[in-house]
Amino acid sequence: MTRRRPLLAALVACAAGLAPAAAHGADRGPYVALGDSYTAAPLVLNQVGQPAGCGRSDHNYPSIVRRALGVAAFRDVSCSSATTEDMTAPQSVTFGTNPPQFGALSADAGLVTIGIGGNDVGLVGAATTCLQLGALAPTGTACRSNFARPGGGDLLAEQIAARAPRIAATLRGIHARSPQARVLIVAYPAVAPRNGKGCYPLVPLSDDDITYLDEMLRRTNAMIAEQAAANDAEYVDTYEESIGHDVCTLPGTRWFEGLIPTAPAYPLHPNALGEASMARSVLRVLGQPRPAPVLGPLRRSRRAIGAGRALRLSYTLSRAGSVRFGLQRSRGRGRYTALRRLTTVDAQAGENVVTLSARQLGRRAGLYRVTAAAGGGVAQTAEFRIRRAR
């Protein structure tokens, strides 16, 4: 999110051990890493790349993933403090400007990972506010009360929900520029204790403040997961593995640093151990087959057609792939005949149109249902009627 020890060889070996020899859909074309400071890893050794203000480490999770996969072409343009706006606009940082991160995308990219959203929803600003309040109120609900609406509801929760369209637009922007890439969106790990037990004054937050911030982080992750599912991206859960390695644990067990770091890392951010954990989570997802493209609803040209007429259907597909079409005739009372395969078409990403001919549909009058499926994804259906011949 916002800006501000070397990794043991054994950790790299462990991460590499989790990666398949050729991860599904990740061994073709360049690997592009986008994201904010949880991706860049500010102050984690060794800091590399320009501008220096992005705080990019060669032991951040994208770099570990790259080495584990043996990817030759790799572009890491992640930058601390980045928001979704910085995907398409230059970002001013200390000692320079980071170009729009989408500039690193290309049509031949095979893998894109992105970690974004925390700065958009205001998690870091909320944590800063809560730390200021907590310094004066080590007990109580100062943090939760600060964001509570007088009439009910929560300002931060509302902001998280309101930022969902930004995540969706960002994922669509990646697909538009890298249509063949496997796209993974990386969630935020468990920085705060999951059990709600704080470590005041190491982190000046009450137990309820800790619980509240963890609730908001999990709410953010849930929003990201929902947008991933709706926009042909794979969600990488980094939260579960990191439970028990929060800012209140002892050095060596701790994967995220407190306000006074004991290992090279920015406060309240992953250290080298945390970045290695995030890399393992990414590699686990890449070890699974790529999900089928998302097929949109079928839209028919008309509800009824005359016998001997063709039927035109339109639909969207999240990325290029094959779509199978089948036909069933209604037998009444919600029952249909067995599915009869009509055709398989190679569809492009975006809007598509298919015309089912009169020969494929037949001339028998009645109510029919067309079914379309892409890979093993969710099928879509549309009903239409063939009128009796006059």
Question: How many C-alpha atoms does 265 have within 13 Å on its Cβ side?
Answer: 31
Active site positions, annotated: 37, 269
Residue with tokens 């993974």, as numbered in its chain: 184
Least confident interval from 16-30, 130-144, 168-182: 16-30
Whether 143 is covered by a domain: the verdict is yes
Strand partners, 316: 351
Whether 336 is covered by a domain: the verdict is yes
CA–CA separation, 372 and 138 (whole Å): 58
Residue with tokens 């979704």, as numbered in its chain: 84
CA–CA separation, 65 and 60 (whole Å): 9
Confidence of residue 389 (pLDDT cuts 50, 70, 90): confident
Q: DSSP for 328-359?
A: EEEEETTEEPPPEEEEEEEEPSEEEEEEE-HH
Whether 293 is covered by a domain: the verdict is no
CA–CA separation, 17 and 40 (whole Å): 23
- Among 244, 264, 286, the domain-final residue is 286
Q: What are phi and psi of 254, to 5 degrees?
A: -75, 125
For the residues 32-61, what does the mean pLDDT come to?
98
Confidence of residue 123 (pLDDT cuts 50, 70, 90): very high
Whether 310 is covered by a domain: the verdict is yes
Domain count, the chain: 2
CA–CA separation, 122 and 117 (whole Å): 9
Residue 22 token pair: 């050729």
Helix (H, G, I), strand (E, B) or coil at 40: helix
> Does residue 56 have a pLDDT over 80?
yes
Same domain, 272 and 232: yes
pLDDT in tens, 324-354: 999 999 999 999 999 999 999 999 988 999 9
Whether 294 is covered by a domain: the verdict is no
Same domain, 18 and 117: yes
Same domain, 251 and 314: no
Residue with tokens 């890392």, as numbered in its chain: 265
> Does residue 173 have a pLDDT over 80?
yes
CA–CA separation, 259 and 198 (whole Å): 13
Same domain, 49 and 196: yes
**pTM of the predicted model as reported, rounded to 2 decimal places:** 0.84
CA 368 to chain centre: 38
Same domain, 172 and 318: no
Residue with tokens 């102050």, as numbered in its chain: 43
Same domain, 275 and 376: no
Quick one: CA torsion of 208, 209, 214, 219, rounded to 10 degrees?
Answer: 100
Same domain, 263 and 310: no
Nearest to 61 by CA among 223, 255, 274: 274
Which residues are within 8 A (CB) of 85 and not within 5 positions of it... i.e. 6 or more apart? none
Residue with tokens 């406060």, as numbered in its chain: 267
Kindly report whether the peptide bond that precedes residue 150 is cis, defined as omega within 30 degrees of 0. no
pLDDT in tens, 253-296: 999 999 999 999 999 999 999 999 999 999 999 999 999 898 99
Read off the CATH number of the domain in which 253 is found: 3.40.50.1110
CB 167 within 8 A of CB 114: no
Residue with tokens 């029919």, as numbered in its chain: 368
Same domain, 310 and 248: no
CA–CA separation, 245 and 277 (whole Å): 10
Whether 91 is covered by a domain: the verdict is yes
Residue with tokens 């390695």, as numbered in its chain: 245
- Among 255, 286, 317, the domain-final residue is 286
For the residues 80-84, what does the mean pLDDT come to?
98
pLDDT value, residue 1:
64
- Among 236, 261, 286, the domain-final residue is 286
Same domain, 88 and 220: yes
Residue 69 token pair: 């996969």
Confidence of residue 24 (pLDDT cuts 50, 70, 90): low
Same domain, 92 and 58: yes
pLDDT value, residue 136:
84
Same domain, 239 and 382: no
CA–CA separation, 27 and 304 (whole Å): 47
> Does residue 16 have a pLDDT over 60?
no
pLDDT in tens, 181-240: 999 999 999 999 999 899 998 899 999 999 999 999 999 999 999 999 989 999 999 999
Read off the CATH number of the domain in which 329 is found: 2.60.40.10
Whether 17 is covered by a domain: the verdict is yes
Whether 58 is covered by a domain: the verdict is yes
CA–CA separation, 83 and 344 (whole Å): 41
Question: Domain range spanning residue 147?
Answer: 9-286
CA–CA separation, 146 and 125 (whole Å): 12
> Does residue 18 have a pLDDT over 50?
no
Same domain, 63 and 87: yes
